[in-house]
Structure 1
Amino acid sequence: MSGRQAGAWLGLLAASAVGTAILEWIGLSAGLLLGPMLAVIGCLIAGTLDVGAFSRVMAEWPLFLGVTAVTLGASSLLGYLLSRWQVLPGSTAIWGSMPGAASAMVVMADAFGADARLVAFMTYTRVVSVAAVASILAAALGAHHGGDWLVTMLAPAPLIPSLATLSVAGIGALIGLKLRIPAGALLVPMAAGITLHALGMLRMTLPEPVLAVSYALVGWRIGLAFTRETLAVAGRALPRVLLATFTLIGFSAALSLVLSKVTGIDPVSAYLAVSPGGLDSVAIIATSVPVDQPFVMAMQALRFLAVLALGPTLARAAAGRFAKSTAEESPSPTRPAGE
């Protein structure tokens, strides 16, 4: 191991130790594990957004806002119908139908009272389905494949940018948890990272092992919370969730054809731009095929930010409407059901 590699790992261990000590000192035992992991994922998402994406949105804002509204509306409608048909309880189906980075949607849903386990089930079912369709498309276009995953995992990361990114993650998570902001451990570092990255003040860089551990721990936390009852609910809901997923994929494919015809952009770029998969997974696929990456990432970024801003309101409104309609259909407790 070179001196630079050793320094990067020692810096990471030191940052982890300091973050752990701070979180223990203020008594955030739950945040000890999950907070830093979510902060790392938030920084990863921030790193996919640059000033080029935001410039593209500003230059063609009517197109971007229109497509975002249509895709978000279609997703919300499917989520509402799944709730209305009692496929999944409460606002769970609303959150599970939201297009955005999967981990972010799960964390947001948990913070706003939905069942994070079932939201994760819905979200990752959609991500896997979308990724499979997009990967088949990429393979058909002769996309190049990445190198040896172990080589990628062990490749050294730049020391200073890595430490700076981890500092943003740690400090942001601490602020978010301390201020009790819903999903603050994710959103505060992500907001800070987006700002710094877009302004060119910091190149968001994270060692691959840190990302792998972060995703693994978040996934374990969600997976280990499943019970027999939760698995039974997920199993019963799977056919209709798959139907909703492929309905949304089909809608997105049709929308991409319209978008391609109207704007002249190639169909693959249009499909990836409106694809209902996660921002992070689409970013990975977009780097392996010859597409208009700034357009794809700009569209995905705007939709992701729109979901962050509007998701809680849409979920509460749909859940409230569902609860009201359920109450109206139920017989009055003071009268016989036949009256």
Structure 2
Amino acid sequence: MISYDHALPPDRCWSLTTLLADRLPASPLFRWIVLLSACALASFLLQWLHIPAGALIGPMAVSVVFGVTVGGLKLPRVLFKSGQGVIGLLIAQAMTLTVLSTIAESWPAMMLATVVTLVLSTVVGILLVRYGGLPGTTAAWGTTPGAAAAMVAMAEQANADPRIVATMQYVRVICVIMAGALVSHFLGISESDHTTAHGMTWDINGLLSLVVALALIAAGISICDRLLPAGALLGPMLLGTVVQVSGFIDIQLPLPLLEAAYACIGIYVGLRFDRQTVRSVMHAFKWMLMASMMLIGFCALSALMLVPMMHSDFLTLYLATSPGGLDSMTIIALDTHADVAIVAALQALRLFTVVLIGPSMARFIARFAREPSPCSH
């Protein structure tokens, strides 16, 4: 019998997954080969079908299934942060003086959109702690719409259960990504062309641009990772924006690098789900799913109301207000030709706001929890 760090005693519910885990060789290298091959195949198929963010969704879906049925693997966090850094620099490519001036002119509407999203998430959090059978503080952090990794870290500092918070955050991330892809598809915006990536040239200027891009990613992560929430993403984005606006060099990123970044983010999120985590929250999983879908629906309605105020299209504002995270929403925005700058600006504004008021929000939501709590672990 092969044992794992998070293995559970076999029973009826997990007999199939235990069997699958036991049948695969224990070698981590072999399991990584199986996982990466399946991720590459899923990514290729979804992109071939013109599914928005297929290079993210495919690896993420495969990794969720792999983590729950087989397990035993964890993507190094440095790769996840590197993937975020690439996406941050990709956002910087869209930041021009014209775009920045447009964002500056729209700041009242952006603040309103941020407040609306936070109010809606508070309402959903109150309903979840009241009727979902989860501990108050834990459920409060789980429903807070910020960068998932940052929210998990802050929740742990507040003595909430990080496993449940992580599951709630990443369940919502997956729901938002899937819903965003579906919305984009039904709106008829399903053709993906990474214009900036295809514009990569392999002459001396292109190679110099790539070297500068990699240096910006490394510098942004090393400087901002410990200073800012989601600093691995925001650091390269801020440094890249300065370079892009200054006209010092035209930042170019090759398509294989982008797809590797998408895959790192998807695999990291997917492998957060394992048998132990899923089993520990199984009793409340339906409430987590319902809360995620409810918040997505509310945010979609708020986006619809913001269309005339911000003079933008519905898809852009839907992605900007969706509680899915800056990195994943940017990937979908790029694949669907939405306004990347507005999406990034609104998501970043909400992230900083949540970091500032998150603890107060969590304490407020926790007041509505029923006592005694049905779930204490």
Q: Could you state the TM-score of these two structures normalised by the residue count of structure 2?
A: 0.59
1:93–1:193 Cα change, 3 Å: farther
Counterparts of residues 245-324 of structure 1 (less than 5 Å) = 245-261=292-308, 265-287=312-334, 293-294=338-339, 297-321=340-364
1:120–1:257 Cα change, 3 Å: same
Counterparts of residues 100-119 of structure 1 (less than 5 Å) = 105-114=147-156, 117-119=163-165
1:176–1:242 Cα change, 3 Å: same
- Tell me by how many angstroms 1:229 deviates: 4.1
- Tell me by how many angstroms 1:324 deviates: 6.8
CA contact (8 A) 1:92 1:109 kept: no
CA contact (8 A) 1:34 1:218 kept: no
Distance 2:230 2:324 in 1: 21
- Tell me by how many angstroms 1:108 deviates: 1.3
Once the two structures are superposed, residues 113-139 of structure 1 have per-residue CA deviations (whole angstroms, 9 ceiling, x without a partner) of 436654443344334333443433333
Aligned partner (choices 38, 52, 59) of residue 81 of structure 2: 38
Once the two structures are superposed, residues 76-114 of structure 1 have per-residue CA deviations (whole angstroms, 9 ceiling, x without a partner) of 4423543565655565544543445xxxx1321243243
1:91–1:241 Cα change, 3 Å: same
Aligned partner (choices 90, 93, 97) of residue 143 of structure 2: 97
2:64 alignment partner in structure 1: none
Alpha carbon RMSD of aligned pairs, Å?
4.0
Establish whether residue 236 from structure 1 lines up as the match of residue 283 from structure 2: yes
CA contact (8 A) 2:326 2:348 kept: no
Aligned residues: 285
Amino acid at match of 1:276: P
CA contact (8 A) 2:80 2:268 kept: no
- Tell me by how many angstroms 1:187 deviates: 4.4
Distance 2:321 2:269 in 1: 28
Counterparts of residues 140-289 of structure 1 (less than 5 Å) = 140-146=186-192, 158-176=206-224, 184-214=231-261, 216-217=263-264, 228-261=275-308, 265-287=312-334
Amino acid at match of 2:188: G
CA contact (8 A) 2:155 2:165 kept: no
Amino acid at match of 2:148: V
CA contact (8 A) 1:40 1:169 kept: no
Amino acid at match of 1:316: P
Distance 2:266 2:136 in 1: 23
CA contact (8 A) 1:173 1:186 kept: yes
* SS of residue in 1 equivalent to 2:188: coil
Amino acid at match of 2:295: L
1:66 alignment partner in structure 2: 112
Once the two structures are superposed, residues 270-326 of structure 1 have per-residue CA deviations (whole angstroms, 9 ceiling, x without a partner) of 434433344444444445557xx44xx344223322233222333322334466777
Distance 2:129 2:249 in 1: 42
Once the two structures are superposed, residues 207-253 of structure 1 have per-residue CA deviations (whole angstroms, 9 ceiling, x without a partner) of 44444545555665666566644222332232112211221222123
1:173–1:265 Cα change, 3 Å: closer
- Tell me by how many angstroms 1:70 deviates: 0.9
1:233–1:212 Cα change, 3 Å: farther
1:264–1:36 Cα change, 3 Å: closer
1:129 alignment partner in structure 2: 175
Once the two structures are superposed, residues 170-213 of structure 1 have per-residue CA deviations (whole angstroms, 9 ceiling, x without a partner) of 23333346x67665545433433344345444555444444454
CA contact (8 A) 2:122 2:365 kept: no
CA contact (8 A) 1:99 1:277 kept: yes
Q: Could you state the TM-score of these two structures normalised by the residue count of structure 1?
A: 0.65
1:26 alignment partner in structure 2: none
Q: Which moved more, 1:209-218 or 1:58-67?
A: 209-218
1:198–1:98 Cα change, 3 Å: farther
Distance 1:167 1:245 in 2: 37
CA contact (8 A) 2:88 2:235 kept: no
Distance 2:162 2:237 in 1: 20
Distance 2:112 2:363 in 1: 26
1:230–1:244 Cα change, 3 Å: same
Amino acid at match of 2:100: F
1:37–1:160 Cα change, 3 Å: farther
CA contact (8 A) 1:39 1:185 kept: yes
* Structure 2: gaps spanning 5 or more residues: 1-74, 373-377
Amino acid at match of 2:150: M
What percentage of residue pairs aligned between the two structures are identical?
32
* Structure 1: gaps spanning 5 or more residues: 1-31, 331-339
* SS of residue in 1 equivalent to 2:323: coil
